[in-house]
Structure 1
Amino acid sequence: MGAVTLTQSTFQEQIDQGVTLVDFWAPWCGPCKIQIPIIEELSTELDQATIAKVNVDQEPELASKYEIMSIPTLLLFKDGELVDKMVGLQSKEVLKNKLNI
C-alpha cells in the first residue's frame, strides 16, 4: 500500500483510531532520504498499524503543532494520543518494536 501522505486536513482523522506512525520529513534532508525507504517497507509489511508521512515544507502548521525541531522525527499515536516521539534516523527493527505496543 505504501505510506499515507498526511496534510493538515487529513491528519487528525488518520490518527484518531488505531496505531499510526508518522514520519515528519523534507525532500532536502539527507537522513530523511534514508528513513523514507524504511517507512515504505514497514507500510507494506505491517497490517496492525498505519504508516504515514508529513512533508514539513508543505505542512509547516503540523510541524509547528507537534514541535518538530529536527527531521526526521517520527511520532507514534494510539487512538489519537501521542505515545512516543523519536528524533533522528530510526532502524526498521526499532520501529517494529515500538509498533508492538
Structure 2
Amino acid sequence: MQPPRLTGVLVLVAVLAAATVLGWWRRRRDGRLRAVSPAAAAPHRAALAALGVRPGVVTLVQFSAPVCAPCRAARRVLEDVAGRVDGVALLEVGAEEHLDRARELDVWRTPTVLLVDGDGRIVRRAAGVPDRADLLAALTPLTAEARA
C-alpha cells in the first residue's frame, strides 16, 4: 500500500481557499454603488440619449436580460425607489437588444444600474442588485440639484 499523497490535499486546500476569497470579494462588491469620475461620465451623453434618457431628469437606467433572476430583483428595488423619490425616471434597457450601447457604456453583466444626473452624466453605477438605502442616499442630492 502506498501512503496518501500530501500534494493532492494541498492542491485541494489551495483551490478551496482561493474560491472562498473570490466568493467573499464578489459578494462584497456585488450591488455596491460606485462613483464614476466626471471625466469618464461625460462622453456617454449621446449613448444615454439614444437609449431614452431625457435631459433635466434624474434617471435610473437598468441593463437587464430576459432570463436574469437578479434583474427582476433589481427592477423591484428600482421601482420602489423611483416611486418614493419625486422627479426620478426609471428606464429598463434590454442588454441584448442594445448590445452596442451596453459595450459603449462599459456594461459587462446584468443587472447593471446606472444613476444618471439631470445633466445626462453617469454619476454612480452598480453591477448586481443595488441596496435600496444606498440608492435613496445617492438620489437625494441629485434630485435636490435638479429642482434648483
Q: Counterparts of 1:37 and 1:20 in 2: how far apart (Å)?
A: 16
Residues 35-44 or 73-82, more deviating: 35-44
Aligned to 2:103: 64
Contact 2:51 2:93 in 1 (8 A): no
User: Which of 89, 111, 116 in structure 2 is aligned with 1:77?
Assistant: 116
Return the alpha-carbon distance in structure 2 between the equivalents of residues 77 and 9 of structure 1: 9
Larger RCO, structure (CA 8 Å, separation 6 or more): 1
Question: Which letter maps to 1:82?
Answer: I
Q: 46, 61, 84: which one pairs with 1:45? A: 84
Distance 1:80 1:53, change over 3 A: same
Structure (1 or 2) with the larger CA radius of gyration: 2
Which moves more between the two structures, 12-21 or 83-92? 12-21
Equivalents in 2 of 1:50, 1:100: separation in Å? 14
- Candidates 61, 64, 83, aligned match of 1:22: 61
2:72 partner letter = K
Q: Distance in 2 between matches of 1:36 and 1:43?
A: 10
Normalising by structure 2, we get a TM-score of: 0.56
Q: Does the residue aligned with 1:20 lie in a helix, a strand or coil?
A: strand
Deviation at 1:28, TM superposition (A): 0.9
Contact 2:59-2:91 at 8 Å conserved across structures: yes
Q: Does 1:32 align with 2:71?
A: yes
Structure 2 CA distance, aligned partners of 1:12 and 1:53?
Answer: 9
Q: Structure 1 length normalisation: TM-score?
A: 0.78
Aligned-pair CA distance for 1:35? 1.0
Name 2:132's counterpart in structure 1. 92
RMSD: 2.1
* Count, aligned residues: 94
Q: What percent identity do the matched residue pairs reach?
A: 26
Measure how far apart 1:80 and its partner are. 0.8
Contact persistence 1:42–1:51 (CA under 8 A): no
Q: Which ranges of structure 2 fall in alignment gaps of 5 or more residues?
A: 1-46, 142-148
Instruction: Determine the C-alpha separation between the residues in 1 that align with 2:105 and 2:114.
Output: 9
- Tell me which amino acid in the other structure corresponds to 2:90: I
Partner Cα separation in structure 2 for residue 12 and residue 58 of structure 1 = 11
